[in-house]
A and B are shown apart, each in its own frame.
Chain A
Amino acid sequence: MTAVETPAETIDYHARLRSGRGVLRMSEVEAAQHGDKLADENDETMLMNMGPQHPSTHGVLRLMLELRGEQVMRSKPILGYLHTGMEKTAEDLTYLQGPTNVTRMDYASPLFNELVFSMAVEELLGIEVPERAQWIRMLMCELNRMSSHLLFQATNGMDIGAVSVMIYGWRDREEMLRLFEKITGLRMNHNYIRPGGVAADLPDGWRDDLLRIFDTLPEHLEDLDTLLTGQPIWRERLQGVGMISTQEALDLGATGPILRSTGYAWDLRRELPYLRYDQVDFDVVVGTFGDCFDRYAIRLNEIRESMKIVYQILEKLPKGDYKALDRKVTPPPRARIDESMEALIHHFKIYTEGFKVPEGEVYVAVESPRGELGCYLVSDGTSKPYRMHIRGPSFVNLQCLPHMMADSLIADTVAIISSVDPIMGEVDR
Chain B
Amino acid sequence: MTDAAIEEVPAEPAPPEEAFGALVTWSRGQRVLHPTRETYLATVEALRDAGFIMCVDVCAVDYLLAKHGRALPVGIEAERFEVVANFINPAERSRIRTRVQVPESDPTCPSLWPLHAGTEGPEREAFDLFGITFDGHPDMTRILMPENWQGHPLRKDYAMGRIPVQFKGAPSS
Write the residues of chain A forming the contact surface with B, with a CB cutoff of 8 angstroms: 17-18, 20, 25, 27-29, 32, 35-36, 79-80, 83, 85, 87-89, 92, 119, 122-129, 250-255, 264, 266, 271-272, 359-363, 365, 372, 374, 376, 378, 380-381, 386-387, 389, 391, 395-396, 398-399, 428-429
Contacts and interface: CB of A to CB of B under 8 A. Distances in A.
Contacts of B53: 250
Contact of A79 (B54, B56, B144): B144
Interface stretch (B16-24, B33-41, B100-108, B165-173): B165-173
A374 B134 CA distance: 22
Contacts of B2: 122-123, 125-128
Contact of A80 (B86, B114, B138, B145): B145
Main SS class of interface, A: mixed
B66 A124 contact: no
A106 to B, nearest CB: 15
Closest 7 CB pairs of A and B: A253-B118, A391-B57, A252-B118, A80-B144, A35-B173, A25-B139, A83-B144
Interface of B: 1-2, 4, 27-28, 30, 53-57, 59, 61-62, 65-68, 71, 84, 86, 90, 93, 95, 97, 113-114, 116-122, 125, 129, 138-139, 141-147, 153-154, 160, 170-173
A128 B2 CA distance: 7
B59 A389 contact: yes
A376 B57 contact: yes
A88 B152 CA distance: 11
A253 B116 contact: yes
A253 B55 contact: yes
A81 B144 CA distance: 8
B153 A85 contact: yes
Nearest to B173: A35
Contacts of B120: 399
Contacts, number: 143
29 contacts: A25-B139, A27-B141, A32-B172, A32-B173, A36-B173, A80-B142, A80-B144, A80-B146, A83-B144, A87-B129, A88-B154, A123-B2, A123-B28, A127-B1, A252-B117, A252-B118, A255-B56, A266-B90, A362-B30, A363-B30, A363-B97, A365-B56, A374-B57, A376-B84, A378-B61, A396-B57, A396-B121, A396-B122, A399-B121
Contacts of B173: 32, 35-36
Given A29-B171, A32-B173, A272-B95, A372 B28 contact: no
A119 B118 CA distance: 25
A63 B172 CA distance: 15
A12 to B, nearest CB: 13
A253 B4 CA distance: 31
A18 B114 contact: yes
A127 B28 CA distance: 12
Contacts of A18: 113-114, 117, 138
A25 B30 CA distance: 36
B66 to A, nearest CB: 5
B59 A271 contact: no
B28 A28 contact: no
A124 B28 contact: yes
A128 B125 CA distance: 34
B93 A271 contact: yes
A85 B144 CA distance: 9
Nearest to B55: A253
A361 B84 CA distance: 11
B56 A372 contact: yes
B118 A380 contact: no
A360 B116 contact: no
Contacts of B71: 359-360
Nearest to A358: B28
Contacts of B27: 360-362
A391 B66 contact: no
Given A87-B154, A127-B1, 5 more contacts: A18-B114, A80-B146, A252-B118, A359-B68, A396-B57
